[in-house]
Structure 1
Amino acid sequence: MGEKRPERQILLLALMIAVGVPFASAAGVVMTKQNNSWIPAEVDAEFAAINFLGGVENIALAITTGPIDNGFWLIPIPSGDVRASPWRGFPSLEGEELKPASEKSLANVYERILAAQIYPLPYLSAVTEEYSLRSLVSKDNASKQVSEAVEAVSTKGEVVPASRLIGYLEGRSVFLNWSDLDDYVAQNFTFIVSWLPATDSFLTRGMFISFATDKLYYPVRISRNSGHDHPAVIYVVGEVTAQYGTLSGHTKISKLYNPKYTPASKDFFFGNMSKTELDYTRIYFLQGRPAPDLDLWFIQMPEHTSAFLRSVVKHPILWGLLVYMIISCLSSMIAAAIVYRKDNPQLFWFLIFGLSNMLTLIGFWTRAYFKDVYDTYTDRRSTSIDQWVNLTTGKRVALSIPVILLVITLLLIPVAIMLELQSVVFPIVASNIFIFFFIPTLVFTILIMWGSFHQKKILYFNLVFSAVFLVLLLLSFMAFTFFF
């Protein structure tokens, strides 16, 4: 007779019900005979994957029904050019939800920018994610999503023009009196009719349908009077919106993206097995019907926001460099405007000087000292702080201590190799504390002391630049997560 309901589908249905997700009318309608009359059968679950290209729509469609005493599956198609084929398996669509994936990519980019600045945040995130920017985005939503693996019994479908449907059914002793059928006949639809044998258990049936159309179509209208709601999930390749019918308030829609995808179904993807990126829409139908009297018609309409998010996921390094350069330049200009406000700073040249931050924060500070930005890019009207002073013996000793420690640190590896002490020295120099705390602390101690003893105005500029850069970086990250 029939197969037992697959355990995977039981788990899926339980999950859908637990989160309050999908309930909808079926794709078409399943009719069963009861007490010598034909009534809509209860559909237990529904799965569909849709792809549209060049005026042709492919649908991999599967439904799960309970026990029935013979019946038929009736699917309206808005085309005269229709092909119903045996079930070829449900296409595996792999991707991540676009918004969380873009946030995760950007968080990784921002953390690398922070690491180049030698701020405390990357020190901590190098050891644990508790304080990282990645902790601000959802780890669950950003995980890879894989479409349901639907195992179905292939169902044969007969293509019947709507004008011949009534006579065709009556020839099988099926008498229906639906105004819906009259409407489909008037619109010159075609029907796919699949005759279902009796079964005393739950059974999933599948069919592959291909037809010519100028817009994506999904049938729900004909079953609106069936009185049965059931879990349903539809995957549509591309980003789509409903042109007729409505999805708002009745569905949970997710946009998913995979920048590196290899098609798993030749027929579903129109023979293209070299596709390298995939964006698609997942639609969970919520309780109620999408529209009282309309089937669903979709149009492929990518939003500007989605294009931006896909670009972030696909090109995180380029976006990181762009953000890094813009914020560095702005921070340099703002810092100069604050610190040298009385000295007529040449803000354009400070803007360009911000690119020095590409050498990391240590490189920026060092270049600011050697370039002597205070002399080079201002009128030096203020003389309240003498830039060059003779170092006292105490200052020389204080400055020499971190310099000597840094030199010794740099010599540790070659000395350890010469003395064959790698097993002792290497674990120390490779530790997070040594790399992310000790060395940067030594370097910045030298730079701060040098500025304090020699070039205080430039030291103030460097400090303000560092603070402004951090503020702008965090503000831009929060703006991205809020607006996009």
Structure 2
Amino acid sequence: MKKIFSLITFVLLFSLFIPAASADGFIHIYDKDMWNLFNEEQQFSAINYKDGFQNMILTVDTGEELKGEKAVWIFPVPAKPDKTVINIVKGFPQLMGYDVEDKADESISDVFMAMRATQVYTFTVLFLTMGRMGSFGKGVEGIEGVTVYGSIEKMGLTTELVSAMDGSSLTNYINSKGLTLTVDSKSILDEYAGQEYSFVISWISDIEKFKQEQGKIERSYRGMWTGNSIGVFITFPTEKIYYPLKPTSVYGSKRVPAVIYVLDYVEPELYDGIKTDTEINYFFENRLSASEELRDFFVGYEKKPSTYYTRDGQEQGFTVKDVKYTKIKVNPPSKYLTQDLWMEVSTPLKVKAADFANKFGLLYGLIFFILCSCLASLFSGMIVFRDRPISKFKFALFGLWNFLTLIGFSIAAYISKIDLKFIQSQEIQKSDVSFGKIITRALLIVLVIPILFLFLFTGSFRYWGFEMIIPMVIMYAITSAFIAPFVWGYYKNRKIMKFIILFTVLFIILTIISQIFLSLII
């Protein structure tokens, strides 16, 4: 069975100083006695595909003020005319979820940052890092080969759903509206008409009157007021999700971005002309609010009544939860838009992995923490006590003491006497260095850290002033309290202290490698 396509035509008005959107069709403005192809700057489209039916809202941004007497926008959408439902709606779904893959990177970073925080001395680095982030059928009077299936008039717009037997019939119909198409526009429409396509044509007879009647339907969308946001809402059956790109090719070398939001995760079928200039991102929104005007668009979602806030006040609306959606931005030179865009509901493997990372951060964080701790302890034991046989199992299991931070791990190492119980040797290392000398050496070693910190973050000692004394003293005291036990341990039992130092170094390295590995596969 041949596919029958519906061509939907309508006009979207935006304020003089506010940018707008369109790329799925072309706009003609009638000014005085001629029709001119009107510049489109960008297009927004929202799609909800459920049970074989596509619900689509289309808005257009002309990027300039409409100053003619009439305006018409034409673009194709796949459906049979007797199964297509059209409407005109105010507003656009305010989708403000988080990017799933970006969130996964952030989640992974947070998880491994928390791991490294168990080493205590990393707190300073972490602190500094965090501080920087219905139908009827009748012929059109006087025009053969054209059938009007439906008509709707709302908010100053008139929309008709028609079918044409051939390109000539469609051209005559458009001429009856006082519109003469450009050669390029006509050739594109002829291709659809020649395949028994249907068309929906929307127009405004008086733009100035329309703007006065509509007023300012301003709404906030990602921090920008988008002005008179009025769109065409279409519902039609289709086996795949569809988006019309081909009609925009009439703009030649001009880039007219198409920003498409599809509820659920989808994979578009990109052809060579648009692959390099297409961005695809996947988002998740925990709670989405919308006005009652958009209720039919969110078919298939559980909707709970709520208050919907607008710039001018509040009105009755609804909320839906756990919304997955895909953002597709197509922005090649218009002449490369030689085909329309088709999409299928499918979740890419990398998005599944990112979803897992976002939902189960605690689980995989725990797994990697145990793995890195046990491996670091095992490798440290094998290296430090390499001259004697060791119990690899005991050293690996000992890494679990890292749950008590590096301090707990160190205390456990001395109390457990790992140099005796984990190896086949009774040799004990003792130091004759007095406690006083150990403390003196520790304080001298610690003195280097505040000085190094000052130099690294000021680049010079020239800017050192009185106001730096108190912070340096505090840092010196904290560092001394932390370093002194390790210096004491080093002089009392160097083997164990070497084991502890090597453990923390290897643990940090392993967490970095693990983080890079996860980031690459997600």
Identify the TM-score tier after normalising by the shorter chain.
Answer: 0.7 to 0.9
How far, CA to CA, are the matches of 1:319 and 1:261 in structure 2? 26
Alignment match, 1:272: 302
**Where does 1:16-415 land on structure 2 (aligned, <5 Å)?**
26-33=23-30, 40-65=37-62, 66-80=66-80, 81-119=83-121, 121-126=122-127, 128-129=128-129, 132=130, 139=133, 155-163=157-165, 166=170, 168-169=173-174, 172=177, 178-185=186-193, 187-199=195-207, 205-227=230-252, 229-243=255-269, 245=271, 247-251=274-278, 253-258=279-284, 260-264=286-290, 265-270=294-299, 271-273=301-303, 275-289=320-334, 291-380=336-425, 386-387=427-428, 389=430, 394-395=434-435
Larger displacement relative to structure 2 (75-84 or 439-448): 439-448
**What letter matches 1:6 in structure 2?**
S
Aligned length: 416
Contact 2:12 2:228 in 1 (8 A): yes
CA RMSD between the two structures: 4.0
Percent identity of the aligned residues?
Answer: 24
How far, CA to CA, are the matches of 1:477 and 1:336 in structure 2? 24
Contact 1:162 1:190 in 2 (8 A): yes
- Aligned CA distance change for structure 1 residues 58 and 450 (closer, same or farther; 3 Å): same
Q: Shift of the alpha carbon at 1:446? A: 2.7
Q: Shift of the alpha carbon at 1:212? A: 1.6
Contact 1:82 1:190 in 2 (8 A): no
User: In structure 2, the residue corresponding to 1:260 is in which secondary structure?
Assistant: strand
How far, CA to CA, are the matches of 2:159 and 2:12 in structure 1? 20
How far, CA to CA, are the matches of 2:472 and 2:358 in structure 1? 32
User: In structure 1, the residue corresponding to 2:43 is in which secondary structure?
Assistant: strand
Give the structure with the larger strand fraction.
2
Q: Shift of the alpha carbon at 1:469? A: 0.8
**Structure 1 gap ranges (5+):** 14-22, 140-151, 403-430
User: In structure 1, the residue corresponding to 2:388 is in which secondary structure?
Assistant: coil
How far, CA to CA, are the matches of 1:286 and 1:3 in structure 2? 20
**Structure 2 gap ranges (5+):** 1-10, 134-153, 212-226, 304-318, 443-469
How far, CA to CA, are the matches of 1:70 and 1:483 in structure 2? 53
Alignment match, 1:426: none
Larger displacement relative to structure 2 (53-62 or 438-447): 438-447
Alignment match, 2:485: 446
How far, CA to CA, are the matches of 2:422 and 2:200 in structure 1? 78
Deviations 1:105-155 (A, max 9, x none): 332222222222112x322433x33xx5x85xxx4xxxxxxxxxxxx9674
Deviations 1:262-316 (A, max 9, x none): 3435333214336543343333332413844211112233222222223333343
Alignment match, 1:473: 511
User: In structure 2, the residue corresponding to 1:117 is in which secondary structure?
Assistant: coil
How far, CA to CA, are the matches of 1:321 and 1:73 in structure 2? 56
Q: Shift of the alpha carbon at 1:168? A: 5.0
Deviations 1:419-476 (A, max 9, x none): xxxxxxxxxxxx99999875674355335524632x4332221111011111222333
**What letter matches 1:123 in structure 2?**
T
Q: Shift of the alpha carbon at 1:63? A: 1.2
Deviations 1:363-400 (A, max 9, x none): 112222223333333333xx7xx4264x869349968x
Contact 2:433 2:491 in 1 (8 A): no
Q: TM-score, normalised by structure 1?
A: 0.72
